[in-house]
Amino acid sequence: MSYCDGCGFRLPDGAEYCPNCGSSVKKETEVQVPSAAALGRILQAGVIGAFLSIMISSFSQGVDLYFIPSFLSSLVAIYLSRARRLVEAVAIALAVYLFADGILTGIALGSLYSGGIPLADLYGSYVPTLLDAIMYAADPVTAVVAGYVGVRLTTRGQPRTPSPIAYRRREEPGGVIYSLEGGPEQRSASSTHKV
């Protein structure tokens, strides 16, 4: 229950103005903070997906797969974590992309540093093409697509349970009448009271 800041009058639920003094009521906005368990599950799925992405990338020597390893491993991570909501699936996909890129960059820069090799030697005479720029710029978009596809794959295999109560609609001159379908044994099993 809330009270008016101006006069202290007890406000009814959903009031925008105080019925006593007429002053505007400040609306309190609720911010949902994800629980530590949900955040931990997202991070865990992100790390698993990132390592899977790195493994896929390591098997493709000489071929640049761009976002494909992260996309595929995002789908696997979303499926394994059983993400049901789109927001959670997109967060997992973004974590996979971010962690995979961070780990690969750390490995590359760490090996250069430990060998005393300049960064320019890593790329040699490589010059990025327009395709490279477009494909790497598309990473965030493909992460969102991976989240969407992953949620669809996760929720696809689950059977939908039909409602235990079925209604029949009948139009008559006085209006529309709804009634329960089935015999008295089905109605008594599903209804909460007897008439």
Q: pLDDT tens digits for 104-142?
A: 889 888 988 898 888 888 777 778 889 888 988 888 899
Render the burial of 154-190: b for 16+ CB within 10 Å, e for the rest: beeeeeeeeeeeeeeeeeeeeeeeeeeeeeeeeeeee
Tell me the mean pLDDT in the region 141-148: 92
Asked if 96 and 162 touch (Cβ cutoff 8 Å), the reply is no
Residue 90 pLDDT exceeds 80: yes
12, 54, 163, 170, 193 from 188: Cα distances, Å: 39, 58, 15, 21, 8
Residue 187 pLDDT exceeds 50: no
pLDDT tens string 150-174 = 988 887 766 666 656 677 788 888 7
Domain ranges of the chain: 1-31, 36-156
- pTM, two decimals, is 0.61
Task: Tell me if residue 168 falls in helix, strand or coil.
Answer: strand
Report the distance separating Cα 10 and Cα 97, nearest Å: 51
User: Tokens at residue 109, please?
Assistant: 């820069």
More confident site: 28 or 178: 178
> Is the alpha carbon torsion for 40, 153, 57, 94 positive or negative?
negative
